[in-house]
Structure formats: C-alpha cells, structure tokens
Amino acid sequence: MLFYSIIVVITAVDQLSKYWIRSVMKVGESMPFYKDIISFTYYQNSGAAGSSLQGWAPILGVLAVLIVAGIWWYRRKGGFPGTLKQSAAALLVGGAIGNGIERLLFGKVTDFIVINSGNGIMNLADIAINIGVVLYLVDMLLSQRGRWKGNGKNPQIS
C-alpha cells in the first residue's frame, strides 16, 4: 500500500505544482521562493536533465512508460523487498509518471525549481527520481554492509 500511496502523492503534487507554475508565470519569468537559496523560474524543457536531448520528449515519454512497466513487472515478481527499496521504486515510478505525462501530452516538461548554487533547473518529479536513486543506493550499501558483518571479513575490491 505504501508503494502505491507514494506514487499517487508524488504524481499529484508534481502535476499540481506544474499546473500552478504554468498558470501564474510566463516562460522565462522568475520569482524568489526561499531567501536567496531557491527561486522559481518557468522553463519548458523538451529534452532530459540538464537540457540534454532537446526535442526528444516523445521518445523520453515512451521510455518513461517502459521504465514504469519494468519496475511494476519486477515488483510483481518479488523484486524490491523491504520498505526502503519499495519507497525508492515508488519515487522512481512517481517521478517517471509525472514527467512522462507532460512529455507525452505536451512534448515538453515544466521545470521551475532553481537552487541558486548554480545546479540547473528541475521540477518535483526530478527531485523524486533523484531521492529514489539515493534511497536505492543507501539500501544497497546497507545490504552489503550486513553481508560484510555476517562473514566477518573485510570487503574485497576486485
């Protein structure tokens, strides 16, 4: 149930935030959000992260559908055991759905979150995907740590 709840919340909040930005701002317009740390700038991205692959939105939209289907299939086969992996997978799916909807419907994604340290522009779906990847890596490290402790040996690099 947690898996599906996370997907619904991420997708809904992502879509609502993008709708709000499109409703109140013009493309290229900026406004401060939190002190001098975070601002909102409305940008339409027809590509991928870092504005790479511009014009590939339809292909990236289909890729998002395939990734979501693959994660669902793997989960049904018993993949992603444990709460941390389930949460990571749900964040990936929610983010992929959020950006996939826009890519398939509009041919572009609404980006608007700017962290003023100079690291690009993103949206909530992008953040969910990144957090999902980090959680999955943390789970992998914790699992490996348990194996190292279990056999009493130091890890070997091969």
Helix H or strand E segment including 43: strand 38-45
Report d(CA 84, CA 103) in Å as an integer. Answer: 28
Catalytic residues: 111, 126
Q: Tokens 């340290």 appear where? A: 117
pLDDT digits (tens, 9 = 90+) for 129-140: 999 999 999 998
| Tokens describing residue 97 | 């759905």
The answer for 121, left when phi > 0, alpha when psi is -120 to 50, beta otherwise, is beta
Longest dimension (CA), the chain: 60
pLDDT digits (tens, 9 = 90+) for 4-47: 999 999 999 999 999 999 999 999 999 888 888 899 999 998 76
CA distances from 104 to 43, 90, 123, 138, 158 (A): 17, 20, 17, 32, 43
- The pTM of the full predicted model, rounded to 2 decimals, is 0.84
Report d(CA 147, CA 18) in Å as an integer. Answer: 43
User: What's residue 14's pLDDT?
Assistant: 98
pLDDT digits (tens, 9 = 90+) for 57-69: 778 888 889 999 9
Domain ranges of the chain: 2-116+123-137
Confidence of residue 158 (pLDDT cuts 50, 70, 90): very low
pLDDT digits (tens, 9 = 90+) for 92-129: 999 999 999 998 999 899 999 998 877 688 999 999 99
